Amino acid sequence: MIHMLNIRLTSTNFILWRRQLLPLLEGQALYGHIDGLIITPPAKLPTADGSLMAPNPTFITWKQQDQRLVSLLQASLTEETLAEVLHFDTTQQIWTTLESLYGGDSKQREIGIRDQLLHLTKGSSTVREFSKTF
């Protein structure tokens, strides 16, 4: 899936990066690892006699899938952004951290750009008026 990602996350492009990842994850039915809808199953289950704990095959499958997503996320980060999430183990932990680190800044930047566009002029025309001439 990594070949489908052409934008690597920096401190200034979170919205674009997120926009390329979400359809990919949703299309593969993997977004639940990010939003928590795919719940981490218990790692071990009691045996039939209840005396021991056995590995849970559902957990093993979940862990494999989550680690593939961790690899995908890490491969889509620049070195600077990767350094911010190296100590996290799951997709949800990484995503939540990146969203809190860069999501707010991106939203503020988006609002700032919109505000700048509203106040731009070409001669005596606003951007909106000028763009209607095309």
What are the sequence ranges of the domains in the chain?
2-42+56-108
Q: Which of 29, 18, 3, 33 is nearest to 93 (CA)?
A: 33
pTM of the model: 0.74
pLDDT along the chain (134 residues), means of 10: 80 91 92 92 90 91 96 94 95 94 70 67 70 66
Distance, in Å, from the CA atom of 14 to the CA atom of 19, rounded to the nearest integer, reads 8
